[in-house]
Amino acid sequence: MKQRPSFPAKLAPSAVKAVPVAPKPSGTPTLSALARPQGLGMDSVAVRMRMVELLRKQGVSDEAVLGAMGTVERHRFVDSALVNQAYEDTSLPIGLGQTISKPGVVARMLELLRNGASAPLGRVLEIGTGCGYQAAVLSKIAHEVYSVERLRGLHDKARENLRNLRVHNLHLLFGDGMLGYAKGAPYAGIIAAAGGEALPQQWIDQLAMGGRLVAPVAGQGPRGTGQCLLVLDKTPQGLRQVLLEAVHFVPLKSGLA
Ligand code: SAH
């Protein structure tokens, strides 16, 4: 039997094929250009639809992702003082030094994770629940979602945010996501919302054959700086990985707090 090439725990730059990122069309409107919704009583459907249209103009074309982002009420996942900015393409503080990712980045990563699939994904693991927003979007495009958070305060906050949404296929877990979550493995998809120096071996082990992992990774720039998006596919021929555009995620940390 042909042996699968082993995967370096630390990504050696030479092991990674950089591919050019398609430039964004000039004149692309930004979500910040959106009129701000007026307080909590806003017509959030209309403003979300405008967010979706702008995501489309920014190059997101996966209808399943756009549909999910059009459904999940992002303003329910941010502090009341920030509700007016909930549909702008910006990351926002969610407490304990963490942030909710920009809608544009969430859409981009979910589109990469789905990889044009014609059906919903099977089981998916998310590392970094944060406020629970991306987990809620994931629950619309996957059969089963496991989401791990290492900060008790945010795990509890996500539980609170999701309480009334009755998302039956989403499991929130308090734990160290660097270990993955073996009980739910193997996963059709793994997505990380925090970036580390290296990909934990457990993530790769817990990925199903044919599965895809999307995560920010650090240390590819000069003197180990910078962070960019990594897409890794587990194929019968071995692991295939591609580095994409620069991103800015909070650090992946080990242990619980
Ligand atoms: N998807 C989230 C984004 C949260 S930011 C949202 O929609 O709000 C990233 C999160 O990753 C932070 O909450 C941080 O605490 C968490 N994180 C960092 N390292 C982690 C680890 N090892 N295990 C689990 N969560 C981790």
Q: How far is the CA of 130 from the centre of ligand 1 (A)?
A: 5
Question: CA angle, corner 130, sides to 218 and 239, nearest 5?
Answer: 40
Give the integer Cα–Cα distance in Å for 180 and 39.
38
- Reported confidence tier of residue 221, pLDDT bands at 50, 70, 90: low
Reported as a single tens digit per residue, the pLDDT across 241-250 is 999 999 999 9
Q: Which residue has the higher pLDDT, 54 or 35?
A: 54
Residue extents of the structural domains in the chain: 25-251
pLDDT value for 225: 66
- Reported confidence tier of residue 220, pLDDT bands at 50, 70, 90: low
Q: What is 25-251's CATH topology?
A: Rossmann fold (3.40.50)
Inform me whether the pLDDT recorded for 118 exceeds 80.
Answer: yes
Give the integer Cα–Cα distance in Å for 175 and 152.
9
Q: Which residue has the higher pLDDT, 82 or 43?
A: 82
- Counting atoms of ligand 1 from 1, which one is nearest the CA of 126? 1
| Protein residue whose Cα sits closest to atom 4 of ligand 1 | 130
Reported as a single tens digit per residue, the pLDDT across 85-114 is 999 999 999 999 999 999 999 999 999 999
Q: What is the largest CA-CA distance in the chain?
A: 62
| Protein residue whose Cα sits closest to atom 10 of ligand 1 | 128
Reported as a single tens digit per residue, the pLDDT across 130-150 is 999 999 999 999 999 999 999
**180-189, 214-223, 237-246: range with lowest mean pLDDT:** 214-223
Give percent of the chain with pLDDT exceeding 70.
81
Show which residues are catalytic.
101
Q: Which residue has the higher pLDDT, 38 or 212?
A: 212
β-bridge partners, 146: 125, 171
Q: Which residues line ligand 1 (CB under 6 A)?
A: 94, 98-101, 127-128, 130-131, 133-134, 148-151, 154, 176-178, 193-194, 250, 252-254
pLDDT value for 224: 57
- Counting atoms of ligand 1 from 1, which one is nearest the CA of 251? 18
Q: How far is the CA of 196 from the centre of ligand 1 (A)?
A: 11
* Residue 49 phi, psi dihedral angles, 5° rounding: -65, -35
Give percent of the chain with pLDDT exceeding 90.
79
pLDDT value for 218: 87
